[in-house]
């Protein structure tokens, strides 16, 4: 190459560089706005976001950051809206299993009960007296009776002075039978100043729900009443001779008792006899009060380990005020304990 050509090339390069932008190559690649001015209009430091037609935007309001798009190299997943979920559940039984012990809580209203009633000492006799040994029924100060139509027309005032400080009165059987003397006995016992409660004889051939409904239909809610009783025995003397499994027995009892507790606001008492207890109730329902039949021995020998509230010690009692025989019972406690148990402020469930 000749030396005379060098100045010409140098002049040409200087002329071309004067037409180039002052922006550096990094700025062009990065797409960052420069500080250059075109005419008299200032260019903003960042692009102005566009506002779609029909949309409103406040001036100066912060703009949400734009989300980056994420590439998906695999197959498109199925939309979640079309995914069918399968729920596996247990069919609801017609009656609650015994494991579901906790009943629904009813709305409750507190109602004061009357003051203490006089305790009358036991004057009953027994057509078939039994020697119970050291701990006999006479060891307990509070005695009472249970009655049904078979006791006929009772003189309740006279029966009270004989030692009937409480009475359980038969109300219903199964799902359609009402003791014909229930309403009369219920009213007259209260008039005589006797603490009274109602009991239901349970039939194993009827559903527990309809039996509970039948009892509730016929036994009024009364703040002075003792807790309701479910009488559970084998129905050998009735047309229903079915003997269910222990599990099924407990299920039906639980349904019945839950309904009564919700309605009356008091936990039901369980009355039973030795054979039925051994088949179905030993070791069960420990949070329920029991009323035990034991006419030959003390309950501690017939029902070992079972705590009890009432003891039916005779089915052959005799008393002024009643024609024929009558069932005799004692409360498991002192007079003070009886007053505390029978005369608290009680709660009546509201429908």
| Catalytic center residues | 233
Distance CA 77, CA 80 (A): 9
d(CA 229, CA 197): 8
Residue 290, helix vs strand vs coil:
strand
| Pairwise CA distance, residues 138 & 314, whole Å | 12
Contact 189, 160 (CB under 8 A): no
Q: What is the CA radius of gyration of the chain?
A: 44
**In whole angstroms, how far apart are CA 36 and each of 16, 41, 42, 211?**
20, 10, 9, 95
Report which of 293, 291, 272 is spatially closest to residue 281, judged by C-alpha positions: 272
> How far from 322 is each of 149, 151, 156, 158, CA to CA, in Å?
12, 6, 9, 9
Q: Are 159 and 322 in contact (CB under 8 A)?
A: yes
Alpha carbons 259 and 105: distance in angstroms, whole number: 11
Inter-axis angle of helices 208-218 and 246-264, nearest 10: 30
DSSP letters, 295-308, are SSS-HHHHSTT---
């Amino acid at each position: 190459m000749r030396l005379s050509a060098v100045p010409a090339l140098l002049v040409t390069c200087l002329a071309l560089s004067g037409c180039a932008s002052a922006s550096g190559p990094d700025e062009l690649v990065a797409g960052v706005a420069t500080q250059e001015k075109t005419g008299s209009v200032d260019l903003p430091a960042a692009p102005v976001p566009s506002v779609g037609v029909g949309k409103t935007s406040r001036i100066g309001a912060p703009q949400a950051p734009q989300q980056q798009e994420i590439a998906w190299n695999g197959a498109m997943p199925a939309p979640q809206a079309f995914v069918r979920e399968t729920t596996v559940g247990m069919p609801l039984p017609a009656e609650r299993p015994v494991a579901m012990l906790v009943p629904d809580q009813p709305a409750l209203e507190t109602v004061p009960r009357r003051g203490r009633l006089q305790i009358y000492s036991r004057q009953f006799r027994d057509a078939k007296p039994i020697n119970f040994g050291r701990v006999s029924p006479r060891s307990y100060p509070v005695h009472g009776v249970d009655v049904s139509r078979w006791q006929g027309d009772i003189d309740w005032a006279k029966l009270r002075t004989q030692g009937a400080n409480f009475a359980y009165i038969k109300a219903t059987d199964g799902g359609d039978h009402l003791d014909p003397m229930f309403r009369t006995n219920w009213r007259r016992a209260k008039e005589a100043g006797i603490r009274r409660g109602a009991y239901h004889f349970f039939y194993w051939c009827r559903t527990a729900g309809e039996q509970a409904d039948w009892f509730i239909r016929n036994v009024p809610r009364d703040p002075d009443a003792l807790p309701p009783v479910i009488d559970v025995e084998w129905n050998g003397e009735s047309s229903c001779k079915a003997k269910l499994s222990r599990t099924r027995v407990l299920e039906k009892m639980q349904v019945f008792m839950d309904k009564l507790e919700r309605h009356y606001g008091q936990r039901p008492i369980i009355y039973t006899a030795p054979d039925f207890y051994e088949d179905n109730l030993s070791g069960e329902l420990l949070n329920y009060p029991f009323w035990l039949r034991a006419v030959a021995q003390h309950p501690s020998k017939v029902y070992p380990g079972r705590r009890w509230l009432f003891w039916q010690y005779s089915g052959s009692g005799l008393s002024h005020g009643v024609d024929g025989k009558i069932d005799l019972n004692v409360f498991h406690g002192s007079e003070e304990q009886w007053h505390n148990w029978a005369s608290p402020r009680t709660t009546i469930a509201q429908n």
